[in-house]
Structure 1
Amino acid sequence: MKQDVIELDGAIGGGQVLRSALSLSMVTGQTFRIERIRARRSRPGLLRQHLTAVMAAAQVCGAKIQGAELGSQTLIFEPGPIRGGDYRFAIGTAGSCTLVLQTVLPALLLAPQASRVRISGGTHNPLAPPSDFLSRSWLPLLRRMGAEVELTLLRHGFVPAGGGEIDVRVQPSKLSALHLCERGLPLSQQAFALTAGLAPNVGIRELDRVVRRLNMASTELNAVILDPACGPGNVLLLEYAFEHVTEVFSAFGQASLRSEKMADAAINQAADWLQSGAAVAEHLADQLLLPMVLAGGGSFTTPRMTEHLHSNISVIERFVPITIQCEEEGAERLRVEVRAREQ
């Protein structure tokens, strides 16, 4: 008997709608058809990093696919059985390595054997989590849930050149529920200004801005000069470690943006989260949902509902019998709970 095809409207969000659908299709074995992929973006349809995610997912589960080409706004994905193994995925541009990894990782955790994944492209991109966020914030929480995953940054890659690479080793893992509603006591805070192929004062100006606005001490500031061959590139990372969670906020240098304005973008994100009292900021909230679905439950608090969080919930509830309940706990704190749907 032919299974029903899950129909999705890609216009409810951006590339995350596609990536979540790919992950869920692989782990549930359900076929989906998505139309109007990234319809509201300035360049709609599949860009190279989205196409790489599609082809990576297809390789991991031997999927049959239709519409997998640059610019396509319609895709049909029919998954097969998940296979561990040794994988290499090259984006070919500065498209995000971390987003491709997050697409295939849920399936690889369920594979019958261990996997090694190398992905080349951009490791530090605007509009995507930098590899530092995965290694210091996201993956430690997945390990607490039972995931055996190790990520190594082999080479930084910035927009527009790319050329970065990550190496990831994954053991088959059974996840258990995580409840992350409080941060716990503060442990440490640090700022890192990474520059490659740029004048040294770029990072210094960014760290000066951090001192003025966040009152960090000189011992908490780190100016990191990378191999010029990785550049030109620049990222500011703000790391806050608490008992139960570590958050990493980032902003990326652009030719037309003053160092102080660039630093403000990361500082504003950090300040918003710090004053909210919520356990996780908006990006980590998006990225905890799928692991919690794999675990069959979990909860967290985050400052507010976002477009990404809302669209991610919509896609998840199409694939799995899970209820995701969101309840406001004051003006700047939203409690999100994932649990099995009552029959």
Structure 2
Amino acid sequence: MNKDILELDGAIGGGQVLRSALSLSTLSGRPFSIHNIRAKRSRPGLLRQHLTAVQAAAQICSAEVQGVELGSQQLSFKPGAIRGGDYHFAIGSAGSCTLVLQTLLPALLRADAPSRLQISGGTHNPLAPPADFLQLAWLPLLRRMGAQVDMQLLRHGFAPAGGGAIQAQITPSPLQPLHLGEPGAVLRQQARALLAGVPGHVGERELARVARRLRWPQEDLQFAWLGQDEGPGNALLLEIVCERVTEVFSAFGQSGVRAERVADSAIDQAREWLQSGAAVAEHLADQLLLPMALAGGGSLTTPRMTEHLESSIQVLRKFLPVDIRASITDKGALLIELEA
């Protein structure tokens, strides 16, 4: 195995480049150095959730790390052996618990023993997959590939307060290739408005917008009232269950943003995917590439190439001897094929 230090330019993407590199370095045993971390973002460098991801990855494999501090744009990481165990990680803000879990999970599937993770911070915040997305969309596909993983949402945590927590149990298990050409027929759908310390009319307006634009019946619209101490916070989640895949689209209430505009964000994402005929939307596509590479192969269709997809492919190619091909199908979707 080549143990030369791999040099990465973090300017090719955002935090996803760092998280993918941490996962792949831990798995491959190859050390890396990265500069220009999140260089194109409004707040460049490491934020709290990135610090936690680095520290957590280092802990599960006894890595030697330099540059781990808030705002740092340079980092070096030299991994050791992956160890299962009982781990607790606190982000200390509303930084995403789910992104930290996604960083660690691939490596812990190849650990020397089962693991239990508890991560506290944000569970429902903008620019990160909510816990429901992992539970309903991502993890079922990993389990179809052979992963033995269970996850529980212990407490909701919205931005900016955080205070949420998730827990996961991971048993080391090999992954098998997965091929997703199309989603299949829609079997059922549900819109859920999560409300914590937020007036009920906010959720009512969001669900009314879903009913009008997507023509979903009343029985598919649901309120989820959370404890006052879990907020303030509001999220709209659209779950679409198809024969071969489940997708979850989300949008989050923010001060000064009308409820209808929040709903439109989730609705537009769902409509684009439904109209494309592709198997998975852009976020699920991005988050399936690394597990597929570890499985030695796989394929999926998604509406289009995105910055996250492109940067994920670049990082995978640097760490692993994997052939990744992208082409356009006769229906206009993007087909990505991986082969080790």
Establish whether residue 111 from structure 1 lines up as the match of residue 111 from structure 2.
yes
Query: 2:3 touches 2:29 (CA, 8 Å); kept in 1?
Result: no
Following TM superposition, the consecutive aligned residue runs of length 4 or more in structure 1 with deviations greater than 2 angstroms are none
2:323 is matched by which residue type in structure 1? T
| Correspondence list, 1:291-330, <5 A | 291-330=291-330
- Cα deviation digits, residues 125-167 of structure 1 (max 9, x gap): 1000000000000000000000000000000000000000001
2:62 equivalent in structure 1: 62
Establish whether residue 86 from structure 1 lines up as the match of residue 54 from structure 2.
no
Query: 2:2 touches 2:30 (CA, 8 Å); kept in 1?
Result: no
- Cα deviation digits, residues 201-227 of structure 1 (max 9, x gap): 110100000000000000000011100
Measure the CA separation in 2 of the matches of 1:270 and 1:186: 12
What is the DSSP-based 3-state SS (H/G/I as helix, E as strand, rest coil) of the residue aligned with 1:170?
Answer: strand
Moved more, 9-18 or 329-338: 329-338
- The change in CA–CA distance for 1:2 and 1:176 in structure 2 (over 3 A counts) is closer
- Cα deviation digits, residues 285-307 of structure 1 (max 9, x gap): 00000100110100000000000
What is the DSSP-based 3-state SS (H/G/I as helix, E as strand, rest coil) of the residue aligned with 1:166?
Answer: strand
Measure the CA separation in 2 of the matches of 1:159 and 1:184: 35
Measure the CA separation in 1 of the matches of 2:326 and 2:137: 23
Measure the CA separation in 1 of the matches of 2:2 and 2:188: 54
1:248 equivalent in structure 2: 248
- The change in CA–CA distance for 1:306 and 1:330 in structure 2 (over 3 A counts) is farther
* RMSD between aligned residues: 1.0
| Correspondence list, 1:16-31, <5 A | 16-31=16-31
Shift of 1:332: 3.9
Count of equivalent residues: 340
* TM-score of the two chains, using structure 1 as the length reference: 0.98
| Correspondence list, 1:143-292, <5 A | 143-292=143-292
2:338 equivalent in structure 1: 338
Measure the CA separation in 2 of the matches of 1:59 and 1:290: 21
Moved more, 182-191 or 249-258: 182-191
- The change in CA–CA distance for 1:160 and 1:76 in structure 2 (over 3 A counts) is same
Shift of 1:317: 0.2
Shift of 1:3: 3.0
Q: Report % sequence identity.
A: 66
Query: 1:194 touches 1:226 (CA, 8 Å); kept in 2?
Result: yes
What is the DSSP-based 3-state SS (H/G/I as helix, E as strand, rest coil) of the residue aligned with 1:157?
Answer: coil
Shift of 1:11: 0.4
What is the DSSP-based 3-state SS (H/G/I as helix, E as strand, rest coil) of the residue aligned with 2:289?
Answer: helix
2:263 is matched by which residue type in structure 1? A
Measure the CA separation in 1 of the matches of 2:177 and 2:256: 44
* TM-score of the two chains, using structure 2 as the length reference: 0.99
1:58 is matched by which residue type in structure 2? A
Query: 1:37 touches 1:46 (CA, 8 Å); kept in 2?
Result: yes
Moved more, 282-291 or 325-334: 325-334
Shift of 1:330: 4.2
Measure the CA separation in 1 of the matches of 2:160 and 2:146: 36
- Cα deviation digits, residues 7-33 of structure 1 (max 9, x gap): 000000000000000000000000000
Gaps of 5+ in 2: none
Query: 1:278 touches 1:332 (CA, 8 Å); kept in 2?
Result: no
Measure the CA separation in 1 of the matches of 2:35 and 2:302: 30
2:178 is matched by which residue type in structure 1? L
